[in-house]
Structure 1
């Protein structure tokens, strides 16, 4: 899986969240990459992102 920085993490922030998306979405803290990432089924991850976007409107 390919990791990418969350778009909600600022460019200058040393503390950010990285995401690897696929059938299972993995989320990890860049300060603790050695720890296991949090896994989410893709369907649940997409529902989470949709809810966030709806809240911002």
Structure 2
């Protein structure tokens, strides 16, 4: 099944490690149903949105956190 999201109706957030600027940042959104995680480039908010399966995104985040130890 393909799910589509209206980017205008989504609240986007950046990492708390972001410097507050728009350089080199990804923005993610929490959506319902929580089966996918939309991701976009903060420098191009009207551009493309990639949607990753929630399980894959969780695995990616866990790997990033683990690599910082």
The offset of 1:7, in angstroms, is 2.5
1:1-57 equivalences in 2 (<5 Å): 1-11=10-20, 13-15=21-23, 16-21=25-30, 22-57=34-69
| Runs of 4+ displaced beyond 3 Å | none
TM value normalised by structure 2 = 0.68
Pairwise CA RMSD of aligned residues?
1.4
TM value normalised by structure 1 = 0.80
Structure having the higher strand fraction is: 1
Where in structure 1 are there 5+ consecutive unaligned residues? none
